Amino acid sequence: MGRQFPSSNPSILLLALTGAAIFCYSFNVVEGVIGVSWGRQTSHRLIPSMVVDLLLQNDIRHLKVFSVSDNVLEAFSGGHIAITVTLPNEGLKHIVNTGVAAYWLQQKIRKHQIKNINITSLYVGSQPFSTFYRKETYDTAVDTLKIIQKALHLNGYENVVATTPHFTDVLKPGMMKPSEADFRPDLKEKMVEFVKVLNASKAPFVMDIFPIHFVAENKWDMEFCFLDNKSNFSIKDNGHVYTNVFEFVYDSFVTAIAKAGVPNLKVMVGQIGWPTDGYPGANVANAERFFREFIPFVKGKKGTPLRPGISIDVYIHSLVDENLSRISLGAFQRHWGVYTSNGEPKYKIDFSGAHRDMYPTTAKGVVFMPKRWCVFKGDKTNLTKVENQVQRACAEADCTSLLPGGSCSQLTFQQNVSYAFNRYFQMNSQYSTNGSSCNFENLAAVVTEDPSVGTCKFPVEILAAERAETDGLMKRSRAEEWLKGSSRSAVVLSLLLIFSFRLI
Ligand SMILES: *[C@@H]1O[C@H](CO)[C@@H](O)[C@H](O)[C@H]1NC(C)=O
Ligand SMILES: *[C@@H]1O[C@H](CO)[C@@H](O)[C@H](O)[C@H]1NC(C)=O
Ligand SMILES: *[C@@H]1O[C@H](CO)[C@@H](O)[C@H](O)[C@H]1NC(C)=O
Ligand SMILES: *[C@@H]1O[C@H](CO)[C@@H](O)[C@H](O)[C@H]1NC(C)=O
Ligand SMILES: *[C@@H]1O[C@H](CO)[C@@H](O)[C@H](O)[C@H]1NC(C)=O
Ligand SMILES: *[C@@H]1O[C@H](CO)[C@@H](O)[C@H](O)[C@H]1NC(C)=O
Ligand SMILES: *[C@@H]1O[C@H](CO)[C@@H](O)[C@H](O)[C@H]1NC(C)=O
Ligand SMILES: *[C@@H]1O[C@H](CO)[C@@H](O)[C@H](O)[C@H]1NC(C)=O
């Protein structure tokens, strides 16, 4: 209906659209889903069955995984947890027709569904229009989604919804009110096409938001991130008052989608999180404070000023820290977890939204290595040598907590060096039969007293109970087997090889 209005009169358009949106959503009474995402770019991982247990203990029934490994999905057999899988950005351009799409769906979805693994939705790409990926994915993202939608339909996947998540940077920058929101002019054409595809297949629009980043970019008071009404900063818009960034961004998307011609599309949140390190304001206290009101807000079906009373499905990013995650955007990328990568909760959070003052359940069955740490012995006679060894350690191990703003950024030089050495030592499973992982040209030694300093924890390794499966799609040999005796095109081969490049 939106398209009948002249776009030269946006306020009338919007008024009408808002009315339609309220009408469509006011009788939606199911409470919002709280799911989590689980990425596995970590050097030592919780085994999948531990994660299943962790989720069920916390009554989390919705999980998103970033790519699809057989051994991970098999742990979810039984259907108690609904799973969202992702077709990675690298794969988008390889889905060239419904045949290839059908093959991918068979391998990644149906094969698991018949084992009673409850895959209910598929993300086709991940933030493909974000400035970070755009160059490679701009042309293909919408076409791939269309092809996948068609293949889902043709092959009878009635219960699988396909959509694509978008980051807040698809919105035009610099808007001061939700009513000013629109998609960026350079993306507008694609977004108009995209929301039509969603509307036609009744799929939701998925927005990803990083609250502190959005607020920082706009140079607003950080208090505006929180939903506990302590902010003195608020934004007034057509009689609505925005007291937090979540409602601001949600309604901005609602507005932009309406301006793109589909006023009553469902909008959900594919990713929202609060890292605990590596970004100004990223710490445990703030993360706890954020979720303490955010989850009850979602569960309370309060809705937003433009869509009051609706339920909003939300996936929290993320379950555990990923200390091998890329840090091209910043060290915070390794610190998204509600849990550390060894399965201990970092802060109190009640996933049920009942305001219980509690830590979530700790992962059961995690086995730690002995309490041994590797530290710098203190010989500073050759500083070049010390610095070289620190660099060597941090090239492989995760030293991001040492960076400015990190939880270990206040260490002395000596402690700094110890931190780096210990990270390397633990990462190598304390391997020291010949002293090789705690030697550093004789600068280091193993100790049994915990060298942690305040909030800066020197971790001990967990026993790596799982060997990472190194194939995103299927084992190379099986892929080749499949290709043998089949006349599939080279496109499929390159598809298989490309997918095996993403490790988890
Ligand atoms: C799969 O998950 C969906 C969404 O939560 C749920 O409605 C459905 O009952 C689940 N299926 C099974 C077999 O448990
Ligand atoms: C959205 O979908 C509905 C129902 O399928 C249809 O009536 C409507 O015309 C669609 N809107 C647009 C803008 O495509
Ligand atoms: C914040 O203020 C709004 C509007 O006054 C109110 O509806 C809401 O319950 C308040 N939230 C909290 C956590 O106090
Ligand atoms: C908000 O304003 C009140 C009253 O003016 C003041 O006491 C409080 O410190 C302010 N809060 C913040 C976070 O600035
Ligand atoms: C200091 O260490 C560096 C690197 O290990 C080495 O090349 C250099 O010769 C050393 N300098 C002295 C004075 O020993
Ligand atoms: C500790 O290491 C970090 C990261 O390499 C560096 O930024 C910081 O300046 C170091 N601090 C000291 C006291 O050497
Ligand atoms: C990742 O984190 C775990 C748990 O804290 C730790 O044991 C491991 O050594 C870390 N890996 C790297 C590469 O730093
Ligand atoms: C220690 O063992 C590692 C791994 O087996 C090997 O690469 C290294 O050369 C050995 N170092 C010494 C000093 O023997």
For the stretch 101-159, pLDDT in tens is 999 999 999 999 999 999 999 999 999 998 877 777 888 899 999 999 999 999 999 99
Could you read off the pLDDT of 460-498 as tens digits, one per residue? 988 755 544 444 333 333 333 333 333 333 333 333 333
Spacing, Cα 234 to ligand 4 middle (Å)? 13
How high is the pLDDT of residue 435? 60
The CATH number of domain 3-334, selected from 3.20.20.80, 3.90.1150.10, 3.40.50.720, 2.60.40.2130: 3.20.20.80
Residues 6+ apart with CB under 8 A from 280: 212, 216, 405
Of 273, 166, 170, 172, the closest CA to residue 225 belongs to 273
Sort 47 into a burial class: Cβ within 10 Å, 0-12 / 13-18 / 19+: middle
pTM: 0.79
Which of 461, 463, 503 most suits a substitution to test ligand 7, by most atoms within 8 Å of the C-beta? 461
Parallel, antiparallel, or unpaired for β 161-163 and 235-237?
unpaired
The owner of tokens 């090789």 is 436
Residue closest to 407 by CA, chosen among 277, 503, 315: 277
| pLDDT beneath 50, residues of the chain | 1-28, 467-504
Structure tokens at 369: 């290595």
CA dihedral 113, 116, 120, 125 (to 10 degrees): -50
Cα of 325 vs centre of ligand 1, distance in Å, is: 31
Among 250, 110, 113, 270, smallest CA distance to 203 is for 270
Residues at CB less than 6 angstroms from ligand 3: 228-229, 293
What is the CA(157)–ligand 1 centre distance, in A?
A: 14
Tell me the backbone φ, ψ of residue 394, rounded to 5 degrees.
-80, -15
pLDDT of residue 346: 95
403 Cβ closer than 6 Å to some ligand 6 atom: yes
- State whether the beta carbon of 434 lies less than 6 angstroms from ligand 8: yes
The protein residue whose alpha carbon is closest to atom 4 in ligand 4 is 232
**Residue of the nearest CA to atom 7 in ligand 5?**
385
- Is there a cis peptide before residue 328, judged by omega within 30 degrees of 0? no
Closest Cα to atom 13 of ligand 6: 413
The pLDDT value recorded for residue 229 is: 85
- Residue ranges, comma separated, of all CATH 3.20.20.80 domains in the chain are 3-334
pLDDT at 433: 55
The residue whose CA is least distant from atom 2 of ligand 3 is 229
The closest residue, in CA terms, to atom 14 on ligand 6 is: 413
How confident is the model at residue 29, as a pLDDT?
A: 55
Mutate to test the pocket of ligand 5, among 380, 384, 390, 440 (most ligand atoms within 8 A of CB): 384
Angle at 44 between CA 38 and CA 50, to 5 degrees: 55
